[in-house]
């Protein structure tokens, strides 16, 4: 048995992942999760692949992956920083 707390700060893709995990595990899906449907939910099983190719999440595709987006934003933020280790005057 597992318990999770859901509030307004939980990302929709996380809720969709939870919904699909419950379905995959043949568990009861709460009504509010049943009603929650992604605009791309019908595309999640296209091409023989299930869910996100990047993180494996079941509630989204790689084009809408929050983990990939966070990683890309972090990498973009580091572009302007000077690399102090490579610029040492030895």
Instruction: Report which DSSP code applies to 60.
Output: S
Per-residue confidence (pLDDT) for residue 57, from 0 to 100? 80
pLDDT in tens, 3-29: 677 888 888 878 888 888 888 888 998
Rg (CA), the chain: 18
pLDDT band at 55 (very low <50, low <70, confident <90, very high): confident
Per-residue confidence (pLDDT) for residue 83, from 0 to 100? 65
Q: CA torsion 35→37→42→44, rounded to 10°?
A: -120
> Residue 88: pLDDT above 60?
no
């Amino acid at each position: 048995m597992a318990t999770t707390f859901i509030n307004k700060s939980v990302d929709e893709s996380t809720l969709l992942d939870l919904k699909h995990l419950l379905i995959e595990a043949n568990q009861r899906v709460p009504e509010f999760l049943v009603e929650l449907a992604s605009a791309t939910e019908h595309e999640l099983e296209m091409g023989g692949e299930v869910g996100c190719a990047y993180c494996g999440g079941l509630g989204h595709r790689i084009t809408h992956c929050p983990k990939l987006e966070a990683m890309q934003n972090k990498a973009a933020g580091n572009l302007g920083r000077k690399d102090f280790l490579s610029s040492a005057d030895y």
